[in-house]
């Protein structure tokens, strides 16, 4: 009997040692069930609704008056893209892209009303909730900030159309595009001499950068640029030519100047805040050359007010 008891104790000890991991006794049965549960992939549904929806993101924001510091409400219009990546019975996965800010979201889809409720993570001050409804290939509804006091326009309307993003090296700014950089005016001191009195007075005037026709001729996605191509260009010209490369790949610009130029086109669809890996070897070489020239280039200004 003692021999039998000793044998049982030994077997139990070996079993316990075999189940011990990092100083803890593991329940192998429980672990196997957990792994099995986690490995279950929920079936995807409504795949026809997957894709990129891009369009207007509009709201009213408080703006401070430069002269007296008072605040007034002004309408702000941005372009936003919502990417629906996956829909299951209980979840929707995707991301929002606006002003160079790419945020994941997760939510739910109501098949009967064809409506989405999509929540961004909430750990960024710009995060909020989208409540949008699907109508054919359009999404419309609203966005509400989780932290209303942290953003200028906590409530925005959303009007989007489904579009297929395609990289095309031939994409260029439209010939009718506004070539003025309205976002970064520069103040200049100018002098005025009265012809009758001969008195000269100084005054401050605001001028805006202006691009030239060169932006319609040089394509850094199709041709190898040389120093000769760039040496007489304005700084804004080269910035547009360079950023056209990123715009063709769907880069979401943080800087308002570039957003304003490319949002004038029908082909620009912001889909990512990092497209560096998508650039071709020639595009990378052209961007590097443009960066060298941009560093020392000068701008052409004109007398446009804001």
42-52 tens-digit pLDDT: 899 999 999 99
Answer yes or no: is pLDDT of 29 > 50. Answer: no
From residue 272, give the alpha-carbon distance in Å to each of 45, 87, 185, 224, 291.
25, 20, 28, 25, 21
To the nearest 5 percent, what fractions of the chain are helix, strand and coil?
A: 25, 35, 35
Per-residue model confidence as pLDDT tens digits over 171-196: 999 998 999 999 888 888 888 887 77
pLDDT of the residue at 253: 94
Which of 194 and 95 is assigned the larger pLDDT? 95
From residue 45, give the alpha-carbon distance in Å to each of 82, 95, 232, 277, 284.
18, 18, 55, 31, 39
Answer yes or no: is pLDDT of 124 > 90. Answer: yes
From residue 156, give the alpha-carbon distance in Å to each of 73, 143, 258.
14, 5, 22
Q: Quick one: average pLDDT of 6-15?
A: 47
Strands 71-87 and 92-98: antiparallel
Query: Where in 150-289 does DSSP place strands (E)?
Result: 155-163, 180-193, 200-210
Of 216, 305, 214, whose CA–CA distance to 265 is shortest?
216
Answer yes or no: is pLDDT of 76 > 70. Answer: yes
Single pTM value for the model: 0.76
| Residues 6+ positions from 162 with CB-CB distance below 8 Å | 51, 52, 53, 137, 138, 139
Answer yes or no: is pLDDT of 273 > 80. Answer: yes
pLDDT of the residue at 53: 97
> Hey, which residues does 161 pair with through a beta bridge?
54, 138
36 pLDDT band, cuts 50/70/90, is: very low
Give the domains, in start order, of the chain with CATH numbers. Answer: 47-163 (2.40.128.20), 210-302 (1.20.58)
């Amino acid at each position: 009997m003692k021999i039998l008891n000793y044998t049982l104790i030994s077997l139990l000890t070996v079993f316990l040692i075999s189940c011990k991991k990092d100083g803890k006794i593991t329940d192998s049965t429980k672990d196997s069930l957990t792994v099995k549960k986690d490995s279950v992939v929920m079936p995807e549904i409504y795949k026809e609704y997957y894709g990129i929806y891009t369009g207007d993101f509009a709201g009213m924001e408080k703006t401070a008056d430069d002269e007296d510091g008072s605040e007034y409400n002004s309408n702000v219009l941005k372009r936003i893209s919502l990417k629906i990546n996956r829909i299951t019975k209980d979840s929707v996965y995707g991301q929002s892209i606006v002003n160079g800010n790419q945020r994941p979201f997760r939510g739910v889809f109501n098949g009967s009303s064809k409506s989405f409720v999509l929540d961004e993570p909430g750990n960024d001050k710009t995060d909020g909730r989208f409540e949008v409804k699907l109508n054919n290939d359009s999404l419309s509804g609203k966005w509400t900030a989780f932290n209303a006091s942290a953003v200028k326009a906590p409530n925005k309307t959303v009007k989007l159309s489904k579009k297929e993003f395609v990289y095309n090296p031939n994409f260029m700014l439209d010939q009718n595009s506004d070539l003025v950089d309205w976002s970064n005016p520069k103040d200049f001191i100018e002098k005025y001499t009265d012809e009758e009195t001969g008195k000269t007075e100084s005054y401050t005037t605001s001028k805006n950068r202006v691009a030239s026709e060169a932006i319609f001729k040089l394509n850094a996605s199709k041709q190898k640029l040389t120093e000769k191509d760039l040496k007489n260009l304005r700084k804004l010209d080269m910035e547009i030519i360079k950023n056209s490369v990123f715009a063709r790949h769907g880069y979401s610009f943080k800087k308002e100047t570039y957003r304003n130029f490319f949002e004038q086109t029908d082909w620009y669809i912001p889909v990512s805040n990092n497209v560096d890996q998508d650039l071709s070897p020639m595009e990378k070489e052209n961007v590097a050359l443009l960066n060298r020239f941009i560093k020392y280039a000068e701008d052409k200004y004109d007398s446009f007010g804001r």
